[in-house]
Amino acid sequence: MFNPVKFMTGFIATVVFCASIVLTGGTAEAVKISVVDVNKVYAESDAAKDADEHVAEVRKVLQKGLNDLEKRLAQNKAVTAEARERDLVNGHRVLERQMKIEIQAARNVVSAMMVECIKEWRRKNGGVVMAKSQLLDYSSKLDITDTVIKAMNKKKAKFADMPVVKFNESKKTKK
């Protein structure tokens, strides 16, 4: 099936490529390309492992907050069962959302550190660095993933402070 967007994208890329050859007199300099396996960085770098530990600690804090809420709600006999259930569902929803935020924040720390190390490497070595996932095929000689991981392992990742869990319970009492 003909896809006009893909066609135009390919067409524009071809025009830009041809224009660059014409404008440089056909002597365009080869660009040095390097490759980073981002998934390997997320799996093997110390920063990623520290992020996993941080997220595990956050999960414990949030779970304790939910357990405390359940306990307080069970002890508060003045509140209706419906209000108790609503507070528990809302509390769970809030903590679930907070957990997603914390996971993304930890991942952002690792990503920023990876990008910083790649930029440092590129300043010294030049060229372009691409993610392995964006390439169909490449020579393993172009892979700088281990170098990036080593550079990252020399740094210490700084994650956000642990969240503090506080809930406001319903005031709806039994009549």
pLDDT band (50, 70, 90) for residue 155: very high
Bridge partners (DSSP) listed for residue 33: 128
How much is the average pLDDT of 134-146?
A: 91
Q: Which amino acid is at 43?
A: A
What whole-number distance in Å separates Cα of residue 60 and Cα of residue 55?
A: 9
Can you give the pLDDT at residue 98? Answer: 93
User: pTM for the full model?
Assistant: 0.73
How much is the average pLDDT of 88-107?
A: 93
Can you give the pLDDT at residue 58? Answer: 94
Q: Which CATH architecture has domain 32-153?
A: 2-Layer Sandwich (3.30)
Please give the C-alpha separations between residue 169 and each of 13, 76, 87, 96, 104, in angstroms, as whole numbers: 59, 10, 6, 18, 28
Most confident of 3-7, 14-18, 65-69, 78-82: 65-69
Q: Is the pLDDT of residue 22 over 90?
A: no
pLDDT band (50, 70, 90) for residue 5: very low
Lowest-confidence pick of 18-22, 49-53, 128-132, 142-146 = 18-22
What whole-number distance in Å separates Cα of residue 62 and Cα of residue 59?
A: 5
- Percentage of residues of the chain with pLDDT beyond 70: 79
